[in-house]
Chain A
Amino acid sequence: MARAQSGDQKAFAELVSLHSALVFRLAVSILGREFIPEAEDVAQEVFLKVHHAIKSFRGEAEFSSWIYRITFNQAVNLKARVRFRSPHADETVLYHAVSPEPGPYRQAETAQRDQALAECIQTLPEVYQAALRLYYWLGAGAGEVAVLLGVPENTAKSYLHRARQLLRGMLKEKGYSCD
């Protein structure tokens, strides 16, 4: 860290290789699967920002927390901009879950419920959405969710619990059963 702060490019490259995968995972968890190329752009922007500001980093927080906070803000800002540009971009069209249900009627019903679920997810607060995508899509454990969102593990667990509760309620309102 100190070497990177003194302008050592090799040390900065080490920091990049250490954190790039997690920065990308966090960005993609916020942006969702319709914006994977944009998540890569976010990762690049984050590291350029970090390189620019690394001398002002005084170690009051962990370096990783600092970089994940920058990633979170950068991705949320980008998401707001792309949603404004293309408000109808729909994550559901990219769901490729193979339906185990037999018969066309059951498959159509499942597809409709998946669509409703995706729409409900997009109405949740950003941290809940990110926690859900990290846990259910990207296969992160509660510990990793906590680290990337910069919260204690119990808070990450409560995000997941609360998100599931909200989704259950929203699906019920739309007439879908979760059981």
Chain B
Amino acid sequence: MTEREPREGGIDSLLRRSMAAPVPGLPPDFDQRLMREVSRSSRPLDGYRRILLTAYGLMSVVACAVVMRGQGLDWGAIAVMILGPLALVATVPWAWRATHTTLRHSAR
């Protein structure tokens, strides 16, 4: 119970009376339905989708390389332009994690 001033007794009983209603609860099968949803959402990519994504990535790389070569760029520049963003994408989350871990340790 919370401590109430005497003059709060009126509003307290008013709230008690006007908010009196059945207390709702979750349906009994909520946990089971949720776990089914969890397994569906966390299912890894199936083989077919993985092959499709890999093929799409490789085709994009080849197409980019052909177009850039057609523009007269040498293979070194093409490699940097294709692999650079990939390296960045791979490095940023790692650097973010490393920085936050360091900050956390120094804060302790």
Taking Cβ atoms with an 8 Å cutoff, the residues of A that contact B are 9, 12-13, 16-17, 20-21, 24, 28, 33, 36, 39-40, 43-44, 47-48, 51-52, 58, 60, 94-98, 100, 113-114, 117-118, 132-133, 135-139, 141-142, 157, 160-161, 164-165, 167-168, 171, 177-179
Contact = CB atoms under 8 A, between A and B. Distances in A.
B46 interface: no
Interface stretch (B31-39, B48-56, B57-65, B75-83): B31-39
Interface in B3-32: 3-4, 7-8, 10-12, 14-27, 30-31
B4 A164 contact: yes
B24 A16 contact: no
17 contacts: A12-B38, A13-B31, A16-B34, A20-B26, A24-B24, A24-B30, A33-B24, A94-B21, A96-B20, A96-B22, A114-B18, A117-B18, A118-B18, A137-B19, A161-B2, A168-B7, A178-B10
B45 to A, nearest CB: 16
If over half of B's interface residues share one DSSP class (helix, strand or loop), that class is named, otherwise mixed; here it is helix
Contacts of A165: 8
Given A40-B26, A97-B20, A157 B2 contact: yes
Interface residues of B, number: 34
Contact of B35 (A9, A33, A161): A9
Contact of A17 (B11, B16, B31, B38): B31
B4 to A, nearest CB: 7
B19 A141 contact: no
Contacts of A139: 23
Listed from nearest, the 8 A-B pairs whose CB atoms lie closest are: A178-B10, A136-B19, A179-B10, A114-B18, A178-B11, A137-B19, A157-B2, A136-B15
Nearest to A168: B11
B37 A48 contact: yes
Nearest to B42: A51
Contacts of B26: 20-21, 24, 40, 43
A137 B31 contact: no
Contact of B38 (A20, A48, A142): A48
B10 A40 contact: no
